[in-house]
Amino acid sequence: MVKIQVPATTANVGVGFDCLGIALNLYTYFTFEETDEFSISGCEERFQNEDNLVYTSFLKALAYLKKEVKGVSIIIDSNVPVSRGLGSSATCVVGGVLGAYELTNTAIDKEAILNICTEIEGHPDNVAPAIYGGLMASYQSEKSVISVPYLVDERFHFLALIPDFETKTEEARKVLPKELPFATAVRNSAKLSVVLKGFEMYESNILSEVMSDEVHEPYRKPLIHEYDEVRAICEEIESVCFYISGSGSTLMNVMRDTEQVEAIQKRLDKLEYGWKCVMLDVDRAGASLC
């Protein structure tokens, strides 16, 4: 029997659409045990079947490794909310793939695991930090995935603002434009290069200046109820920068002063959509045995 923990992630990080992601210290735990037949528990009953993403990812990895198990019992214990832009599907993919490696006593090859997970997930922005931890920038070519780490100063904290409604990734992608003006693309790429250094060097003023995205957030904001109200509250009380986590519905407020969380929550309590503050820090280890 093996037990694995996989961190939640916040993808895009403003101007890093489909290429940046940060692992956070909020976890899903997966227990795998070889048995005579398949079973899965710890998730909603509608997911307790062979179409479960953890199980299909587990099978995908077994096929890659050319290994077999008679059957498997999977127990899921998740603290990561579903369809809220915190990488819940990525935790399932990484957990399933890593579970196949561990249950078959296969040496861990994170580069191979990244490629398998990206093939399943479709893009690496969430799975890369879930595997490696920290802030990861990724590029997906036709042949492989290249992911490199960047530092985030430990004095930055990530306040996840989680509402009581979901945002589906496929719906959030439908609203994106087919084309962008050349000048917009240039500005966003310039901002991205500066944002990475801002996180590393604890440059709050830089992040405040260059985090405004022009590629995806303007089109996704209308999908998130009370976006403007939540942002205004954070920026009035304490905010280094503010962005949509993944495709939403969670909004992320990067902070220095964690003592202001209660003040933000009190203001959010007056809104309609049940916003809850969850203070998080960067997970620097990534997926691991526990």
Residue ranges for the binding site for ATP?
A: 81-91
Residues 6+ apart with CB under 8 A from 253: 158, 159, 161, 234, 238, 239, 242, 264
Q: Tokens in use for 142?
A: 């036709």
Residues 6+ apart with CB under 8 A from 105: none
Residues 6+ apart with CB under 8 A from 18: 11, 12, 123, 125
Report CA dihedral (151, 3, 139, 145) to the nearest 10 degrees: 130
Q: Answer yes or no: are the C-beta atoms of 146 and 38 closer than 8 Å.
A: no
Q: What is the DSSP letter of 223?
A: G
Known binding site: residues?
81-91
Backbone angles phi, psi at 272, to 5 degrees: -85, -30
